[in-house]
Amino acid sequence: MRKVTKIAVIPGDGIGVEVISEGVKVLNHIEKLDPDVNFHFEYFPWGCEFYNKTGKMMDENAMDVLKSFDAIYLGAVGFPGVPDHISLWDLLLRIRKGFNQYINVRPIKLLEGVKETLAYVPNDEIDMTVIRENVEGEYFGAGEWLFKGTDKETVLQTGVFTREGTERVIRYAFELAKEQNKTLTSISKGNALNYSMVFWDSVFEEVSKEYPEVRTQSYLIDAAVMYFVTDPKRFEIVVTSNLFGDIVTDLGAGIAGGMGLAAGANINPEKEFPSMFEPIHGSAPDIAGQGTANPLAAVWAASQMLEHLGYEEWALKILSAVESVVQKPELLTPDMGGSGVTGDIGNLIIEYL
């Protein structure tokens, strides 16, 4: 009997809706090609439009409902009129934290055929995976606002790095580096952040003893961002904290061809809860509804989702289909230099599958 894989689809707002539709097209096609694949999609209309109607980004029982799914496929949320902190905290971060998706995986790979991003770096030298701590650290949300409105006004923002949280993300990265026989780089800032990053460095050092076969290096964040643009081939697997990861992965998106190609996975490795897969760009109100959004990031995220769900072969096939279509930029969306429309890109991918 074919096992049913339950996927919760949250297209969200703006171009989120347009790009997710292409990703689902591709997944539907795979289901047709492979008798062993059986997806059940369920759509949830959550996001800013929902918020404007109900005062909430998601239904009250959203987390209970989502819990029964194998994965969540998310477009993008956010729209003018709804403050960013509401759309972020009440949907994205609620899911990330609530389902303990403590690993963020961001492939940073500049595909052959995509216009070069750094004049002096060949495309194939930009090929790394960043593992970002996704639920604690600098974005833990702890702090205090003291003496508000007085001349002594002082604001504290506290990073929280637990032993458990630090060790598990570093260990995840070591496992990946070992499996892929790649060099693992830790990015931190132990010279200035005298508690959190000294701790991070010591945990990295400790865990590295369990993986003598993995080559390692450590960079300060400031040096790392320079090498991202001057000599990115230094990096293969990167592990870093929530804030530094946020920054280097956007830098990574920049050197890997832009927002239209950047995908991210929010993983709960124990599979105790569903993991969530998304193009990392926003709802892009400036181009929403025009058919110019590039859905390749969403398609890439679908590939990450299939890999996580155990369909590794299809994950690779989607990725090589993406690699093939980027060889023909004239058929792609304007951000890739073409005159194609969003709604046609899914079919291009399908042709290659």
Least distance in Å: CB of 331 to ligand ATP? 15
Our finding on whether 240 is near ligand ATP (CB under 6 A) is no
Our finding on whether 23 is near ligand ATP (CB under 6 A) is no
Interface region with ligand ATP, contact rule CB under 6 A, candidates 122-130, 132-140, 199-207, 281-289: 281-289
Our finding on whether 287 is near ligand ATP (CB under 6 A) is yes
Our finding on whether 297 is near ligand ATP (CB under 6 A) is yes
Point out the residue whose Cβ comes nearest to ligand ATP.
282
Closest to ligand ATP by CB, 15 vs 184, is 15
Per the listing, tokens 């289901």 go with 31
Interface region with ligand ATP, contact rule CB under 6 A, candidates 110-118, 204-212, 214-222, 287-295: 287-295
Candidate residues 293, 301, 321, 349; the one interacting with ligand ATP per rule CB under 6 A: 293
Our finding on whether 250 is near ligand ATP (CB under 6 A) is no
3-state secondary structure the chain: CCCCEEEEEEEECCHHHHHHHHHHHHHHHHHHHCCCCCEEEEECCCCHHHHHHHCCCCCCCHHHHHHCCCEEEEEECCCCCCCHHHHHHHHHHHHHHHCCCCEEEEEEECCCCCCCCCCCCCHHHCEEEEEEECCCEEEEEEEEEECCCCCCCEEEEEEECCHHHHHHHHHHHHHHHHHHCCCEEEEECCCCCCCHHHHHHHHHHHHHCCCCCCCEEEEEHHHHHHHHHHCHHHCCEEEECHHHHHHHHHHHHHHCCCHHHCEEEEECCCCCCCEEEEECCCCCCCCCCCCCCCCHHHHHHHHHHHHHCCCHHHHHHHHHHHHHHCCCHHHCCHHHCCCCCHHHHHHHHHHHC
Our finding on whether 206 is near ligand ATP (CB under 6 A) is no
Tell me the angle at which helices 15-33 and 296-308 cross, rounded to the nearest 10 degrees. Answer: 50
Angle made by CA atoms 127, 315, 311, in degrees to the nearest 5:
140
Candidate residues 246, 323, 335, 344; the one interacting with ligand ATP per rule CB under 6 A: 335
> What is d(CA 269, CA 172) in angstroms, rounded to the nearest whole number?
9
Candidate residues 282, 301, 318, 348; the one interacting with ligand ATP per rule CB under 6 A: 282
Closest to ligand ATP by CB, 184 vs 318, is 318
Candidate residues 189, 281, 308, 317; the one interacting with ligand ATP per rule CB under 6 A: 281
Amino acid, res. 189: K
Our finding on whether 106 is near ligand ATP (CB under 6 A) is no
Number of residues that bind ligand ATP (CB under 6 A): 16
Least distance in Å: CB of 279 to ligand ATP? 6
Candidate residues 101, 185, 294, 303; the one interacting with ligand ATP per rule CB under 6 A: 294
Closest to ligand ATP by CB, 96 vs 281, is 281
Our finding on whether 283 is near ligand ATP (CB under 6 A) is yes
Which one, of 347, 329, 349, lies nearest residue 339 by Cα?
Answer: 329
Our finding on whether 286 is near ligand ATP (CB under 6 A) is yes
Least distance in Å: CB of 295 to ligand ATP? 7
Least distance in Å: CB of 333 to ligand ATP? 6
The site string for ligand ATP over 53-82 (x = CB under 6 A, - otherwise) reads -------------------------x----
Residues that bind ligand ATP (CB under 6 A): 15, 19, 78, 84, 259-260, 281-284, 286-287, 293-294, 297, 335
